Amino acid sequence: DIQMTQSPSSVSASVGDRVTIACRASQGISSWLAWYQQKPGKAPKLLIYAASSLQSGVPSRFSGSGSGTDFTLTISNLQPEDFATFFCQQAISFPPTFGGGTKVEIK
């Protein structure tokens, strides 16, 4: 299986900050990467697919970049509703695998 490693595991930030989350694949996955947001007690929500494509309805302050093995999710101008846990997922080989998650907390 392809291993997905996220960093950091948690980050403290303030409203208005820019937050960057990294995701590294154990082998090249081209642009076959998705990012999800999960709030406590809720199902994950797809934010970004194909590494950099914004899912419909997702605010433009979320952006994704990268290809191959290294990827980044950036949240610019962090809003109160953005405090959550974020997961990356490789979508090139079966079984799909997720990163361990990054919790964005209020500073």
Partner 1 sequence: EVQLVQSGAEVKKPGESLKISCKGSGYAFTTYWIGWVRQMPGKGLEWMGIIYPGDSKTRYSPSFQGQVTISTDKSISTAYLQWSSLKASDTAVYYCGIGVAPSGWLDPWGQGTLVTVSS
Mark residues 26-45: x for contact with partner 1 by CB under 8 A, - for none: ------x-x-x-----xxxx
- Give the C-alpha separation, 51 to 21, whole Å: 13
Nearer to partner 1, 68 or 96 (CB): 96
- Give the C-alpha separation, 88 to 70, whole Å: 11
49 is a contact residue toward partner 1 (CB under 8 A)? yes
98 is a contact residue toward partner 1 (CB under 8 A)? yes
Q: Strand 102-106 relative to strand 10-13: parallel, antiparallel, unpaired? A: parallel
Nearer to partner 1, 16 or 41 (CB): 41
| Nearest CA-CA partner of 86 in 70, 76, 72, 107 | 72
Q: Which residues bind partner 1 (CB under 8 A)?
A: 1, 32, 34, 36, 42-46, 49, 55, 87, 89, 91-101
